[in-house]
Amino acid sequence: MADDQSESAGFKVVDRRTFTTEGSPRQEDSPAERREEASRPVAEPARPVEPAEHPSISEPEEEPFEGEPSGFETLVSYLSTTTMFQLGLMAGPGGERIPPDMANARRTIDLLQVLQEKTAGNLTPNESRLLDDVLYELRMTFVELQKRQARTGK
């Protein structure tokens, strides 16, 4: 069965390791056997079946997810999460503590402010409120962490 699959795929896998899985030396093929293998015709790859040719294959229909956040909400969420990482308020992927990067956190907060200014008047009330709330919370957290760093001298 494995041979059938490799022939229909249009390629052949040749194990060229010098040792077997047990660790003993592998016996090499003679040059005549290698030439014979190389001269065998390779089967053509199978042609993909078009959905119109086969009634049981149909195109997947994309259904919108209800309650899925809009692209704008996802963008705001992404930028706020990035800022939280930069402020050192979220653990890294392995659970390790990430030191604050105040300069980049400030840049990301500024980027959110630019987004707020450039989209003014074009947002839904919920999107506008989300952006206002996120900016307020991030700014307050940023100021609090700056005060804490000034007190500790770090």
Q: Give the tokens for residue 33.
A: 């056997």
**Is residue 82 domain-resident?**
yes
- pLDDT tens, 102-149? 999 999 999 999 999 999 999 999 999 999 999 999 999 999 999 999
Q: Cβ(26)–Cβ(20) under 8 Å?
A: yes
Candidates 103, 76, 99; CA nearest to 89 is 99
Alpha-carbon gap, residue 123 to 131, rounded angstroms? 10
Alpha-carbon gap, residue 4 to 59, rounded angstroms? 29
Candidates 94, 105, 110; CA nearest to 149 is 105
Domain span holding position 88: 72-152
**Is residue 111 domain-resident?**
yes
Cα 11 from chain centre: 31
Q: Cβ(105)–Cβ(143) under 8 Å?
A: no
pTM: 0.54
- pLDDT tens, 74-85? 999 999 999 999
**Is residue 86 domain-resident?**
yes
**Is residue 32 domain-resident?**
no
**Is residue 132 domain-resident?**
yes
Q: Cβ(97)–Cβ(91) under 8 Å?
A: yes
pLDDT at 35: 58
Other beta carbons within 10 Å of 112: 21
Q: What stretches of the chain show up as alpha helix (H) in DSSP?
A: 2-9, 31-39, 71-86, 102-118, 125-152
- pLDDT tens, 12-63? 766 667 767 676 776 765 555 555 555 555 555 555 555 555 455 455 555 5
Confidence of residue 6 (pLDDT cuts 50, 70, 90): very low
Rg (CA), the chain: 30
How many distinct structural domains can be found in the chain?
1
What residue has token string 């090499």? 28
**Is residue 64 domain-resident?**
no
